[in-house]
Structure 1
């Protein structure tokens, strides 16, 4: 079988840009890769197609002589954890960040092509270290009071105790009111990343781990939003003892579960003991649309629960989450619903509008949205009802 004469430097560039080293290369291309990259041998056309698929680059890229600059991740504030500097390790997360930035660029290009005005995020910034001031600021700019927040528990007069309705409403609010592009990335370990944000003066990015629970993603949204309001890009949960991480966690907790409202809640106000049952914590979590974990931490902070109870409950809830996740591991779900989740409604709606207006070709639309044209009607229904 004939070999193709590619540029070995392009091969090396693509591998590094995709976040691979020699140890974690896919088995299909791993055995001969070092030889190809050194120029000792060349891949066949079929092997080049496999390389293109794994590195998400067109085959023509590997014939280039002039290579672009690598995507630099210096915009993200890395914090030291146990004396080791945190680094993005997995190809899936590297690709997720690269795609999020590319989608933002596409979004802005389409806005300009359609002569739509840009939305500025920088006007919402607030340089403050006051938890209550920041939480109140978020409440004001999103224009959502607690009564509306609590109403999201119900969908068609039925309780949605998984809190997906809360998550979807919050994502919509952050996108519509503040112009934040919210994407989700699959197949990334929660140990590596739960969420991150990339600051821009207009259309900043929040990237969530789609494998996380709805409640965790809700909390991450407001943790990352706080970073953005402070004008920062960051990966959350890298070093929980960092003062900025503490501030962002505190703001998210105060916003989602306001101290004054929680203390005035009949279940809390009338509670004599500091001992809580799982059912009581569950009732409170449903009222605010947060996890039982967040409720318990809030009660401990307000001296309404014992610190010792945290580890006991946390072990049980972690086990429950793992069982639930294992149960779901086989299902793929609707491709349209998945792509709307990964791409976010703000991005998806603009691409669909641009396609219907003839600004985007069918090929560009399909590639940008990650769906075939046969899904257009279902996508429209998903986005606009």
Structure 2
């Protein structure tokens, strides 16, 4: 039986990089401890299975030492984010997938002669927060002319996403890597990222986060697009000394877009119990209670000591909520898939394939679809024949 000469340090690196429990990996690969110790080597089949299990490219195992993997985006996450130091395979694979889709879409719209997206780079961090927030609200006003009046936080996300796509920004929201439900994204590692481009700006939102937090992430990343800035974010509504200046600006703009300080002041009921009042206002503005608490402190309505205690209590509650296993909603697969890939992107790929400009095999790969039947049903779902 032929064995593969792999450096023990590389095996250990892949094990640790995966983020999977070591005990689970050792149950699946009983010889793993001996591979790490260098006393035995895996067979090629074992190595390929180990690579798949740890989401590691097979080629990495033929290196003489573990590679250094950097996030391929400017990293604006602060030290409050537990994922700052070493990017997980899930984060890296998600970024690479979105970059691939952006590159295809960019070439597509340029070939059609479409104009650049005007909002990209239309602001700077010297733009007043209140002015930038007004610009974003105006740009995201529904084309139908109907007022922005969402029923709940999920409806708010849908309305904002649809408006963003109308002005040329691709919005992708996903809680897993691609379509792999076994690879759930970790909100503690990142909340979202923006890929600025004049022709194909993209906003990605971590769909594993709470629904209300996703609305803040969406606007925050759109603010990065307004700056013409590519960025990876681990968003916290609070400001901190170690934050990048543009990250602070995007936080402030997102808060002002979703919960304008003047309106928060007007609606705040001083006599009410703080946690209950924060939840009431969160329901009104369709944001998280953390955003509301930060706004109340910024407005001078809650003192620093009270704010810190309330914020810590609410943060712990939300973390416990995220830690609970989620039951599948059993929703429509095609609706979910469109949200994951962006409606504009999905339609563009399907139309290009129907016209013969893109091979169906490539189109299916770009959309993350495995069967012709699913491909055809998605086309029918989006009205593309």
Which bin holds the TM-score, normalised by the shorter protein? Answer: 0.7 to 0.9
> 2:258: which partner in 1?
256
Residues 195 and 236 in structure 1, CA contact (< 8 A), matched pair in contact too: yes
Deviation digits for residues 70-90 of structure 1 (CA, Å, limit 9, x no counterpart): 9863541456638x9933431
> 2:202: which partner in 1?
205
Deviation digits for residues 191-243 of structure 1 (CA, Å, limit 9, x no counterpart): 21112223333323322222101211110112122223223222323784124
Which of 85, 92, 104 does residue 87 from structure 1 map onto?
A: 85
**Residue 79 and residue 327 in structure 1: after superposition, are their counterparts in 2 closer, same or farther (change >3 A)?**
closer
Deviation digits for residues 292-311 of structure 1 (CA, Å, limit 9, x no counterpart): 33223222322334551563
Q: What is the number of residues matched between the two proteins? A: 359
> 1:170: which partner in 2?
160
**What does residue range 1-385 of structure 1 map to in structure 2 within 5 Å?**
3=2, 28=28, 31=31, 43-45=43-45, 47-48=47-48, 51=51, 55=55, 73=71, 75-78=73-76, 81=79, 86-111=84-109, 115=112, 117=114, 119-120=116-117, 123-129=120-126, 130-143=128-141, 150-153=148-151, 161=152, 163-186=153-176, 187-237=184-234, 240-241=239-240, 242=243, 243-264=245-266, 267-268=267-268, 271=269, 273=270, 275-276=272-273, 280-307=277-304, 308=306, 311-312=309-310, 315-316=313-314, 318-319=316-317, 322-323=320-321, 326-329=324-327, 334-371=332-369, 372-376=371-375, 378-380=377-379, 383=382
How far the C-alpha of 1:332 sits from its partner, in A, is: 7.0
Deviation digits for residues 296-342 of structure 1 (CA, Å, limit 9, x no counterpart): 32223223345515633652574266347625256675543443232
Residues 274 and 305 in structure 1, CA contact (< 8 A), matched pair in contact too: no
Coordinate RMSD, CA, aligned: 4.4
> 2:181: which partner in 1?
none
TM-score by length of 1: 0.73
How far the C-alpha of 1:170 sits from its partner, in A, is: 1.1
Which blocks of at least 5 consecutive residues in structure 2 are unaligned? 177-183
Which blocks of at least 5 consecutive residues in structure 1 are unaligned? 154-160
Residues 185 and 207 in structure 1, CA contact (< 8 A), matched pair in contact too: no
